């Protein structure tokens, strides 16, 4: 896998962890300084973004694997070598 893609995947995971922690913080401590509806809405938003941040690396990796799965077995080289 390319270094650029690995870096992108790691950044998505880091963002997912941060969003999950912020969502849990707002869910646990948000009621002390926010109205209940606002705290619940913010927690849901953070947790949805965390879920997206954990799904996108999976999707990127699956797409890369699908693109490169038959790279060495296929004989569809556009430049015909003899």
pLDDT at 68: 82
pLDDT at 75: 57
Question: In sequence order, which ranges of 1-82 are alpha helices (DSSP H)?
Answer: 3-29, 36-68
7 Cα distance to chain centroid: 12
pLDDT band of 10, cuts 50, 70, 90: very high
Domain parsing of the chain, residue ranges? 3-66
**Is 47 within 8 Å of 19 (Cβ atoms)?**
yes
Indicate the length of the chain as a whole number.
Answer: 82
Its pTM surpasses 0.85: no
**Which percentage of the chain shows pLDDT scores above 70?**
84
Residue 30, class by beta-carbon neighbours within 10 Å (0-12 exposed, 13-18 middle, 19+ buried)?
buried
């Amino acid at each position: 896998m390319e270094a650029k893609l690995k870096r992108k995947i790691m950044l998505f995971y880091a963002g997912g962890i941060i969003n999950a922690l912020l969502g849990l913080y707002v869910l646990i401590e948000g009621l002390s300084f926010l109205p209940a509806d606002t705290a619940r809405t913010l927690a849901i938003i953070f947790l949805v973004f965390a879920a997206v941040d954990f799904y996108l690396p999976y999707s990127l990796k699956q797409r890369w694997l699908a693109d490169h799965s038959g790279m060495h077995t296929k004989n569809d080289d556009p430049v015909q070598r003899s």
